[in-house]
Amino acid sequence: MSLAFLCPGQASQKVGMGHDLFQETELGKSYFDAANRIMGVDIQDIIFNGPEEKLKQTQYTQPAIYVVSVIIGKLLKEKGVKPTCAAGHSLGEYSALALAGAFDFETGLALVKVRAEGMQNAGTTQAGTMAAVIGLDDDKVREVCKGFGDGIVVAANFNAKGQVVISGEVEAVRTIMPQMKDAGAIKVVELNVSGAFHSPLMTPAKEALIDKLASIQINHCEIPVYANVSASPVTSADDIRQSLIDQLENPVRWHESVSQMVNDGISSAVEVGPGRVLQGLSRRIDRSLNMNGVESLEQIVNFNHV
C-alpha cells in the first residue's frame, strides 16, 4: 500500500507538543537540544511551556512545528514505516523535504529560522492579513481578486474545494471580504495571522532565503516531494531550491497536491506532526484517501501501517 507523509504548517502548533518525544527518546532529546543551539533561544521552553502568545509568533511557530514534525517522521521511519512520497503545507514543505532526505535536520532548521524571521519582519514592515473564503470555487476567488483595484490582495492557499485563503494588505483584504460574499461565498473570516503570507508582501523575506538556500547543500530526494507551488513531485536540488523560493509569494496548491498524489497511486497518508488540520482537509479533498495522524510517542508506538 502506498503511503504519503503529509506535514502540517503554521496554526497547528500547541503548547507542550513534543514533550514526550524529548523526555522519552534519544532522537527527540538530541534534536530538541540541537534546536536550542541553532535558534539561539530556548525554543524548548517556548514549545513546552509557552505562553501560547509567544509560540504563536511566526519566528517561533515555524521552527517549533518543523522540529516536532521531523522528530515524529524520523521515529516512524526508524520503526520501519516507509513513505512513498511526501508533501507539506507551506512551512510543512520543509519538514517533508527533511524527511525525504533533501537536507539534514539541522540544515532544514537553519533554513526555517531564516524563513520564519524574514516572514515575521515582512509582516511588521508591511502590515498584512489573511481571510478564509468558504463556499466559493478557486476560479471565482481568483477572478474577484484580479478585478480588485484598490490594493494588493491575492489567493494564497487553495486548501480544499470551496476553502480558499486570501492574503494581502489589511485594508484591501477587509474591503474585498464583502465582495467575496456578494460573489457567493457562504462565509468569509479574517484570520489571526501576523502577515500576508504567500503574497507579494512577502518579497522582503525572499532575499535572505535565496542567500541561505545558495549556501547549503541540497541532496536529491530519496522520495518525491509534491511542491506547494506546482502540485507536482520534485526530487532534484535545483527544483527544490526554486520551489522554496517561489513558495513565499505564491499560493499553496494543497488540494491539487493531494489529488495528484491519489491519481499517482497513493492510497493512504499520515499527518506527521501536531494537530489535525490536514486530516480535516483530506476528508474534504478525497474521502478515498485513508488518512491518520501521529503527534505523540504513544501514537508512534501503536502505529500500524501494512
- Residue type (1 letter), 68: V
Options 3.20.20.70, 3.40.109.10, 3.40.366.10, 3.40.50.11540; which CATH number does 3-124+200-302 get? 3.40.366.10
Contact 219, 163 (CB under 8 A): no
Rg, C-alpha atoms of the chain: 18
Residue 304 is predicted with a pLDDT of 86
Instruction: State how beta strands 233-234 and 290-294 pair.
Output: unpaired
Q: Is 296 a catalytic residue?
A: no
Residue 306 is predicted with a pLDDT of 54
Residue 66 is predicted with a pLDDT of 98
Strand 163-169's sheet: what is its strand order? 153-160, 163-169, 128-134, 187-190
221: nearest Cα among 101, 126, 124: 101
Catalytic residue among 12, 69, 194, 198: 198
Instruction: State how beta strands 153-160 and 85-88 pair.
Output: unpaired
Instruction: State how beta strands 225-226 and 153-160 pair.
Output: unpaired
Contact 147, 164 (CB under 8 A): no
Residue 212 is predicted with a pLDDT of 96
Domain 128-190, second-level architecture: 2-Layer Sandwich (3.30)
Rounded to whole angstroms, the Cα distance separating 86 from 88 reads: 7
Grid cell in block for residue 239: 527544483
Is it true that 3-124+200-302 and 128-190 share their CATH fold? no
Residue 1 is predicted with a pLDDT of 58
Contact 131, 173 (CB under 8 A): yes
DSSP 8-state symbol, 156:
E
Instruction: State how beta strands 163-169 and 128-134 pair.
Output: antiparallel
Query: What's the pTM value of the predicted model, to 2 decimals?
Result: 0.97
Q: Is 89 a catalytic residue?
A: no
Which residues in the chain come in under a pLDDT of 50? Answer: none
Grid cell in block for residue 290: 485513508
Rounded to whole angstroms, the Cα distance separating 48 from 60 reads: 12
Helical spans, DSSP H, in the chain: 19-24, 26-39, 43-49, 52-55, 58-78, 92-99, 105-125, 138-146, 170-182, 203-215, 237-247, 254-263, 277-285, 297-302
Q: Return the SS3 of 208.
A: helix
Rounded to whole angstroms, the Cα distance separating 71 from 146 reads: 41
Catalytic residue among 12, 69, 89, 90: 90
Those residues with Cβ within 8 angstroms of residue 2's Cβ, 6 or more apart along the chain or in another chain: 84, 85, 265, 266, 267, 268
Sequence spans of domains, the chain:
3-124+200-302, 128-190
